[in-house]
With several copies, the nearest count.
Chain A
Amino acid sequence: MSEVFISGIVVFVLAAFVGMEVISKVPPTLHTPLMSGANAISGITIVGALAGASYLGEGAAAKVLVFLAITTATINVVGGFLVTDRMLEMFKKKPVKRDG
């Protein structure tokens, strides 16, 4: 195994520990926005898609794959962060207008 790959494993394990620790005490009320925010973070794969675009040759298949990868990842990223913000905005509303 290459050094890069092994240090990748180390990084993976540590990041997984961080993920577990950070999440384990979140109140149920925030589970939906948390999940949708985490989902947006998993769109980081867009970086992989963009990197793929940097060494595109002439093959049509590669072009289609990379284009689809960029598109789907962007849906995930943009949609995920936006909808999370929309939800959290609702949570922030003050309990003012009691006259409904």
Chain B
Amino acid sequence: MVELLYMAAASLFIFGLKMLGSPRTARRGNMFAAAGMFLAIIVTLVNEEMLSWGMIVAGMVVGGAIGAVLALRVKMTAMPELVAAFNGFGGAASALVALAELDRNGAELPVEIAAVVAASLAVGSVTFSGSFIAFGKLQGALPGRPVALPGQHMINAVLAAAIIGLAVWGAAVGVVAPYWIIVAVALVLGVFGVLPIGGADMPVVISLLNSLSGVAASMAGFIIGNSALIIGGALVGAAGFILTVQMGEAMNRTLANVLFSGFGSAVAGAGELSDKPVNRATADDVAIALGYADSVIVVPGYGLAVAQAQHATRDLGLALEDKGVTVDYSIHPVAGRMPGHMNVLLAEADVPYEQLLDLDQSNPRFPQTDVVVIVGANDVVNPSARDDADSVIYGMPILEVDLARTVIVIKRSLSPGFAGIDNPLFYNENTMMFFSDGKAAMEDILKSVKSL
């Protein structure tokens, strides 16, 4: 009976995930999944002989309060950090469950159970420390650029091999020590694994950590023989994996390349910045170009989130629409710091769903577009990815904004994007550079547009 109720909970997860995939049903889908979780918790509380109600209530109240405050207070621009943190807590919980089981049963385990205990500890710990490094990078407490020791890959490979060796030791000898050492090593591996990854690759990293948190939960399910954990974890593991692969494809890079290339580390790709002249523009110049256009497409990037410019951007869009200009928004799959990041920000600013174009919808439109406004995006509009076979980003699908009649780039300076390479777009004849903070720029342009 318990098993069947767990299966019902897992079915709610499946329906919920499925519904999360379509705009019309997404919110109900989330509620389905939450209902499944509620069911699974109730079943567990009723079924087990709970000896420690005090601890359970305390843990759930503390955890619930922290979770609720974080969820309700977070700014939409900080969503990637929050999801990273939640991933980290999930990984930690799975590792802790494995440790508690180990504490209870001792380490003399059948070999397959020893293996999943080790896997749960390793994956959970990597997820925990890796997520909090990602959190630190996203939040600005740690540098966003790749940070690596010399020979970092070799070090990481040794750490991974050490975990496998420790798991074999634990299974063979049946003592607890190696498992605790696995936790320590895996925590270090999580740190060393994420530190060398640049900010622009965060969408891949967050997807991967999400997937790993699912795998850790699934492994914990094998330890305690609980199908709800196995199914729920496998669903998330697989879903996160698919998203990770999709993000990699959106950058034309393999997962291994993202994780191990130290892509965008200053040394690797800095190249020389061109000293060709650029067309500098003022807010008035930009306002004139926009106000007299028929069609405008806005291309937002992570800079928009940093500058909190989503509302100002939408205000400008509305003002232009009042003047009869068609305004749309083109969003590259890896724009921002997690998959779909820009969509969330623009949705927060009440930009209607229909105006958000994806890569495939956007590219055929640029040649017929009068003005493209780029706010805080760089590598995803770099024509080198299409034209320059020597470029490190060659082959990455980009938004081909250079085909539009006029391109306006709003940027603080000419500094390169995370890929560390120059962007020929900035030096084009039909490109106007407006050097400013994103939000201030939008407000200034809006003022000028209104006085046209």
Enumerate chain A interface residues (CB-CB to B < 8 A).
1-2, 4-57, 59, 61-63, 65-93, 95, 97-100
Q: Which of B236-282 contact A (CB under 8 A)?
A: 236-243
Q: Which one of A28, A69, A84 has the greatest number of beta carbons of chain B within 10 Å? A: A28
Taking the closest CB of chain B, its distance from the CB of A11, in whole angstroms, is 5
Q: B210 within 8 Å of A by Cβ?
A: yes
What's the Cα separation between A28 and B354 when bound, in Å? 13
Q: Across the interface, do A62 and B103 meet the contact criterion of CB distance under 8 Å?
A: yes
- How far, in angstroms, from A70 to B97 measured CA to CA in the complex? 9
Complex Cα spacing A72 to B41, Å: 15
User: Known contacts A13-B7, A41-B17, A52-B101: does B242 contact A23 (CB below 8 Å)?
Assistant: yes
Among B56-64, B363-371, B377-385, the one that faces the other chain is B56-64
Instruction: Give chain B interface residues in 18-61, CB to chain A under 8 Å.
Output: 18, 20-23, 26-27, 29-31, 33-34, 36-37, 40-41, 44-45, 48-52, 55-56, 58-60
Q: Which residues of B contact A22 (CB under 8 A)?
A: 14, 17-18, 21, 235, 239
Q: Which of A38, A53, A88, A95 is in CB contact (< 8 Å) with B26?
A: A88
Which residues of the other chain, A, contact B62 by a CB distance below 8 angstroms?
71, 74
Asked if B125 is at the interface of the complex by the 8 Å CB criterion, the answer is no
Q: A70-B60, A84-B30 are in contact. Are A30 and B100 (CB under 8 A)?
A: no
Question: 6 A-B pairs, CB-CB below 8 angstroms?
Answer: A11-B231, A32-B340, A50-B41, A70-B59, A82-B71, A83-B72
> CB distance A40 to B34 under 8 Å?
yes
Q: With A47-B41, A85-B27 as given contacts, are A90 and B344 in contact (CB-CB < 8 Å)?
A: yes
CB distance from A45 to the nearest CB of B (A): 4
**A interface secondary structure, majority:** helix
Q: Is the CB of A83 within 8 A of B82?
A: yes
B50 to chain A: closest residue by CB: A54
Q: How far is the CB of B400 from chain A (nearest CB, A)?
A: 17
Inter-subunit contact A54/B21 (CB<8 Å) = no
Across the interface, name the chain B residue whose C-beta is closest to A66.
B100
Q: Which residues of B contact A63 (CB under 8 A)?
A: 52, 55
Chain B residues with CB under 8 Å of A62's CB are 100, 103-104
Query: A15–B238 contact, CB under 8 A?
Result: yes
- The distance in angstroms between the C-alpha atoms of A76 and B321, with both chains bound, is 41
Residues from chain A with Cβ under 8 Å of B94 in the complex? 45, 48
Rounded to whole angstroms, the CA-CA distance of A86 and B86 in the bound complex is 15
Decide: B17 and A48 in contact? CB cutoff 8 A.
Answer: no
Asked if A36 meets B230 with Cβ closer than 8 Å, knowing A12-B218, A41-B235, A78-B64, the reply is no
Nearest-Cβ distance from residue B375 to partner chain A, whole angstroms? 18
Within 8 Å CB of B231, what residues of A? Answer: 10-12, 14-15
Contacts of A89 in B (CB 8 A): 27
Q: In chain B, what residue has the closest Cβ to A17?
A: B14
Contacts of A79 in B (CB 8 A): 66-68, 70-71, 82, 86, 89
**In the complex, which residues of chain B have a beta carbon less than 8 angstroms from the beta carbon of A75?**
63-64, 66-67, 70, 86, 89
Task: Give the contact stretch, choosing among B146-154, B189-197, B292-300, B345-353.
Answer: B345-353
Q: Are A37 and B233 in contact (CB under 8 A)?
A: no
B199 within 8 A of A: no
Which residues of A sit under 8 angstroms from B340, Cβ to Cβ? 28-35
Which residue of the partner chain, among B59, B321, B353, contacts A91 with CB atoms under 8 Å? B353
Point out the residue from A16, A43, A56 that lies within 8 Å of B93, measured CB to CB. Answer: A43
Nearest 3 pairs of A and B residues by beta carbon: A74-B63, A70-B59, A79-B67
Q: Are B110 and A2 in contact (CB under 8 A)?
A: yes
Q: With A and B bound together, what is the CA distance between A6 and B353 in angstroms?
A: 44
Cα A13 to Cα B350 in complex, Å, equals: 40
Q: Which of A45, A82, A97 contacts B350 (CB 8 A)?
A: A97
Using A69-B59, A74-B59, A95-B354 as known contacts, list a sample of 9 further A-B pairs with CB atoms less than 8 Å apart, ordered by residue number in A.
Answer: A8-B225, A17-B11, A41-B33, A66-B59, A66-B96, A69-B97, A79-B68, A83-B74, A98-B318
Whole-angstrom distance between the Cβ of A95 and the nearest chain B Cβ: 3
Residue B429 at the A interface, CB < 8 A? no
Evaluate contact between A40 and B103: CB separation under 8 angstroms: no
Please give, as numbers and ranges, the residues of chain A lying within 8 Å of B11 by CB-CB distance.
13, 17
Tell whether B214 is near chain A: CB-to-CB under 8 Å.
Answer: yes
Decide: A42 and B83 in contact? CB cutoff 8 A.
no
The residues of B that contact A86 with a CB separation of less than 8 Å are: 71-72
Given contacts A35-B83, A70-B63, contact A53 B50 (CB under 8 A): yes
**If the complex has contacts A22-B14, A25-B21, A44-B37, are A17 and B93 also in contact, measured as CB distance less than 8 A?**
no
The 0/1 profile, CB within 8 Å of A marked 1, for residues 174-213 of chain B is 0000000000000000000000000000000011001001
Q: Are B96 and A69 in contact (CB under 8 A)?
A: yes
A73 near B344: Cβ-Cβ < 8 Å: no
